[in-house]
Amino acid sequence: MNMIPFKGDFIDGRFVLPRAGSERAVSEDPGDLDRPVGEFTFDEAAVDDAVQAARRAFGPWSKRSTKERTGYLIRFRHILKARASEFARLISREMGKVLSESKAEIARVLAKLDSARREEADLIRSTVHPIERGVVGRLRFRPRGVVAILSPFNVPAYLASAQIIPALLHGNTVVYKPSELTPFVGQFIASAWKEAGLPKGVFNLVQGAGVVGQTLVSHSNVDVVIFTGSWAVGSKVQEQVSRHPHKLCALEMGGKNSAIVCRDADFSVALDETVSGAYLTTGQRCNATSRIIVEEPIANRFIDGFLRRVNSIAIGYSQDLNAWMGPLVSEKTLKRVEGYLTRARAEGFEVLREGGRFDCGRKGHYLKPSVHLRRHFPNEPLQDGTYTDDEVFGPDVAIYIVRNLDEAIALNNRSHYGLVASIFTKSKAKFERVLREAENGLIHWNAATTRSSGRLPFGGLKRSGNDRPVGFFSPYVCTIPTSSVERALL
C-alpha cells in the first residue's frame, strides 16, 4: 500500500502545512512495519491559529438555527457512508484493529449522527415553568463556545465523532486533536467535514504529539476540554485546566474493569462475553475486562472453558478477514505490556497461558493473549506500577477465585479505577446488589464490560473520570443551562 500524502492542520476552512523546521514523525502500520501509513509534521504554534479561527466562527455559527446546523451533519453522514469501506481500511491500517471492528466503529458513528439530532436533542429542549400570574421561569441551553477535543488511538473515529457531533450541533465550534498514532484518521475526518461545507473556522484540526495537546488544553480561549485517554495524561490535563476556572473539563481515563462470574451463571454466555471483553481490540480499550472474578465452586470448569476459547483466537494482520485479533498499536505499547507480564510473576500470579511475541509472517507488534491466576484475595495496599493494580491495556486478563459475592464485590471495588463492572448471574437480586454496591459508573448484567451504547451516558468513578459522563449525555458537556425569570410587559 502506498503512503498517504499529509495535508497538514485544518484551520479556518483549509489545510495548512506546518512551517519549515517543524517536528516530523511517521505513522506506522502496526501490523506491517515495512509499509508505513505516511509521514506528518506538527508545530504547537498552529494551536493558536486554530483556536482563534474557532473563536471568530463561534458567534455566526451559534446564531444559526438547529435545523441549519443539522443540515451539515446530514451531509457529513452521506459522505461518511459513501466512503465507509475506504475509511474502515484506513482505521485498521493505522491503528491495527481487525477490519470487522473498524466497520463496526463506522456504523457507530453513523448511528451517533442519527441519535444526536433526534433523541439527544430532547435532553436540552427549552422548558417553561409558571411562577406566578404573569411571570414564568424558562430554562434554555446555550452553546459554551470553543470546544477542544483530544481523542485516543484505540477507537479513533467514534470517540472523536461522539464529541464533535454534539458540539457542532448545539452551536459550538471545535478544535480537534487526534492521537499522534492515528493522524491520518484525523485527516480523513477533517476532509469529510470540509467536503460537507462547514463554514470556515467551525471545525479545526491540529496534529501532533503531547506538546500540541498541552498547548491546546491551556489556551485561554478554549471553553471546554474533552479528553479521552490514560489517567496519567488525564490528571495532567485536569491540572492545567484548573488554572482556568471558566473551562469545563470532561475526562474519560480508563479502567481496571471486572467481570464477576457467579455460580449460577450461564456458562456459554459468561465465557463468550469475558473472552471478547478481555481481547477485543487486542485489549486496548478503556472498558476491556482486566479481571475475571469467579466463585470457587465453578472456578475450575470456568477456567478450562476460558482457556479453550482463548487458545482458538486467530491473530493476524488487520486486513486479513480470518483474523480476530490484530497487533498492539506500537512498539512502546508492546514493551509496556511485556513489562506488566513480567511483574505478574513477581507479584505471585500463576501463568495459565503464556503471552509473548507472535510471528504472523509480517513484521509487526503482535502479542499472544495471556491469562494469569491468583487464588487468594489481595490484601496489600493499592500500589501504582504493579500488574495487580495498573491498567495493562493489552491482551491479558487476570482470573481471581473468591468464595462468594461479598468477596467479589470487595475485590471489584479494590481499585484506583471505577469504570465498568459486569456480573454474570441468573439472579436479578444479585445484579441489583452489584448496582447498589459496585463503585463503577457502568454496571452490566450478563454482558461484556466492552458493551456500550451511544444511547446511554458513558463515564466512570475514581480515576476513570471526573463525573462528566459523555456518550448520550454529551449535550450537557457542551451547553450552558441558563435560567430566566420573565415578566412580559405589553
Confidence of residue 367 (pLDDT cuts 50, 70, 90): very high
Confidence of residue 196 (pLDDT cuts 50, 70, 90): very high
Q: Which residues of 88-101 are buried (b: 16+ CB within 10 A; e: fewer)?
A: bbbbbbbbbbbbeb
% of the chain exceeding 70 in pLDDT: 100
8 A C-beta contact, residue 401 and residue 302: no
Work out the mean pLDDT of the chain and round it to a whole number: 96
Does the pLDDT at position 301 exceed 90?
A: yes
Find the Cα–Cα–Cα–Cα dihedral 168, 170, 173, 177, rounded to 10°: -50
Q: What is the pLDDT of residues 425-461, one digit of tens each?
A: 999 999 999 999 999 999 999 999 999 998 899 999 9
* Residues composing the chain: 490
Nearest to 147 by CA among 238, 63, 54: 54
Q: 9-253+468-483 has which CATH code?
A: 3.40.605.10
Instruction: Tell me the mean pLDDT in the region 131-153.
Output: 97
d(CA 440, CA 447): 15
Domain with CATH 3.40.309.10 in the chain: 257-453
Predicted local distance difference test score (pLDDT) of residue 11: 98
Does the pLDDT at position 490 exceed 80?
A: no
Domain with CATH 3.40.605.10 in the chain: 9-253+468-483
Q: Report which of residues 19 and 424 the model is more confident about.
A: 424
Residue 62 phi, psi dihedral angles, 5° rounding:
-70, -25
CATH superfamily, with its number, for domain 257-453 = Aldehyde Dehydrogenase; Chain A, domain 2 (3.40.309.10)
Helix, strand or coil, per DSSP, at residue 381:
coil
Residue with cell 471492528: 101
Predicted local distance difference test score (pLDDT) of residue 471: 86
Does the pLDDT at position 378 exceed 90?
A: no
Predicted local distance difference test score (pLDDT) of residue 468: 82
Active site residues: 252, 286
Instruction: Tell me the mean pLDDT in the region 257-280.
Output: 98
Confidence of residue 236 (pLDDT cuts 50, 70, 90): very high
Cell numbers for 477: 458537556
Predicted local distance difference test score (pLDDT) of residue 102: 98
d(CA 465, CA 178): 20
Cβ of 443: how many Cβ atoms within 10 Å? 19
Residue 229 phi, psi dihedral angles, 5° rounding:
170, -155
Q: Is the pTM of this model over 0.85?
A: yes
Cell numbers for 129: 415553568
